Structure 1
Amino acid sequence: MTTNMISTATAPVSTPALMTGGIVAGPLYVAVWLGQAFTREGFDITRHPASLLANGGPGWIQTVNFVVAGLLSIAAAVGLRRTLAGRGSKWAPRLLGAYGVGLLLAAIFPADPAAGFPAGTPADYAEISTRGMGHFVAGTIGFSGLIAACLVMAAHYRSVGRKGLGRYSAATGILFFGAFAGLSAGAGSRPTIVAFDLAVILAWAWITTICLKHRH
């Protein structure tokens, strides 16, 4: 009995279970994000990126959202490593894992209050603290990993004749890069924030899709 219990406890998580984590990560993250975006006082989804939700009394909800999404993304990376062969079999999972690590770091280093959020913050408040710099680094690590993972998977799918998935992966990486670059250069303008919000949803949809395709 004891031996069986130890064996069960130490058994590796199955690949389908890991990929299921990747499948649910995006819909869960987006649902929690949008649920807060439309209920938190003073939050304007066209002016405030999701990271700002980690501020204020209910900020712990977004922090937990980052942690759960990060862990599920890392689980998906482990599952992807088990299912890939050939080109991209090593780098794509590592890069997806880097995205998960970036989400975990975003939870550790919350974004600074800005642009009137949380309620009571001056509309022109834009100071960057040490934790704010940490959040910027977290985003750079995570988003760079995600963009590169899309492009590596695009090359992988082309190499195995899955051209549709290859084009989808490439388009996701390119569009996300453009939205991230626009956000960085746009100083928080409404069009760049809306574009980035849409890119985040697109990226999570891509992760869900590849996890579904590789869930055996």
Structure 2
Amino acid sequence: MSTASAGFDRRAAVTRSLLGWGVVAGPFYVLVGVVLALTRQGFHLSEHALSLLMLGEFGWMQRLNLILTALMVLAAAWGFLRAIRNGRGLAVAVLVGVYGICLVLSAVFPPDPVPGFPPGSEGGAASVSGILHLIFGALGFAALAAAAFAYAGWCRAIGARTHAVWATVLGVIVLIGFFGGAAFAMIPLGVLLLWISVLAGLSWLALASSHVYAWTPHPVRAQRTPSRV
């Protein structure tokens, strides 16, 4: 083994790279979603949930947005598993992975049209696809909230109490926002609650990924602190 190879931890480098996708996933999804929302005829951010962008002629763009985001989330889940090598790490990784899978399934099964969107739609009875979309959405957000709680437990175990507090708060917001939004889905309040849930969940993922990224030993052994060598 060369001196350069001995001084570089490839495993740590890969782990950090995977966790980096957890930081990117949220901003990517929100930015692309907002751009699509502002350019789709008949779509109003104050009235329509972002998932409705999967409907209509250009719905494939939002489906692709969801799938690409899901791949980033799954990469982050693998990063958590590699970084936190205990039961809590496994729980966080599995739950984040479930959220990623639910994102994919939510893209495969789009929601039902609502009155006014796509343009000219009058809504109608719930379809199998629409029901499955809601189920996978509920499972995904529940898993993301549970991941935040599991991460909070790990933070308490390593003495990072501030991280534990904000993770718990964001997890609660995810649950209240999603299920409150689902209950009031047909009025602006419901859309606002869904947005709050999405932003809280993706913020937790970014902050947790960033925290675990920094906690993971530096790939260059010479740059590690004594406690992390």
Partner residue in 2 for 1:51: 51
Structure 2 counterparts to residues 136-155 of structure 1, below 5 A: 136-155=134-153
Partner residue in 2 for 1:168: 166
What's the Cα RMSD here? 1.8
For the pair 1:31 / 2:42, whether they are aligned, the reply is no
Structure 1 position 87, deviation (Å): 5.2
CA contact (8 A) 1:87 1:156 kept: no
Structure 1 position 135, deviation (Å): 0.8
Q: Deviations over 1:10-57 (max 9, x none)?
A: x9x911221121111111000011111122111111111111000011
Amino acid at match of 1:209: L
Q: Which runs of 4+ in 1 moved over 6 A?
A: none
Partner residue in 2 for 1:40: 40
Q: Unaligned stretches of 5+ in structure 1?
A: 1-10
TM-score with structure 2 setting the length: 0.84
CA contact (8 A) 1:147 1:173 kept: yes
Structure 1 position 86, deviation (Å): 4.2
Partner residue in 2 for 1:131: 129
CA contact (8 A) 1:87 1:155 kept: no
Q: Deviations over 1:56-114 (max 9, x none)?
A: 11111100011011111011000001111445121111000000001000111011111
> For 1:202 and 1:174, how far apart are their aligned partners in 2?
9
Amino acid at match of 2:77: A
Aligned residue for 1:48, secondary structure, equals coil
What is the percent sequence identity of the aligned residues? Answer: 32
Partner residue in 2 for 1:184: 182
CA contact (8 A) 1:48 1:115 kept: no
Aligned residue for 2:39, secondary structure, equals coil
Amino acid at match of 1:168: W
Partner residue in 1 for 2:71: 71
Amino acid at match of 1:16: R
Q: Unaligned stretches of 5+ in structure 2?
A: 1-10, 217-229
Over alpha carbons, which structure has the higher Rg? Answer: 2
Aligned residue for 2:89, secondary structure, equals coil
TM-score with structure 1 setting the length: 0.89
> For 1:160 and 1:88, how far apart are their aligned partners in 2?
11
> For 1:182 and 1:90, how far apart are their aligned partners in 2?
29
> For 2:151 and 2:209, how far apart are their aligned partners in 1?
12
Length, aligned pairs only: 204
Q: Deviations over 1:115-146 (max 9, x none)?
A: 31111112xx2421111112112112211110
Amino acid at match of 1:83: A
CA contact (8 A) 1:45 1:194 kept: no
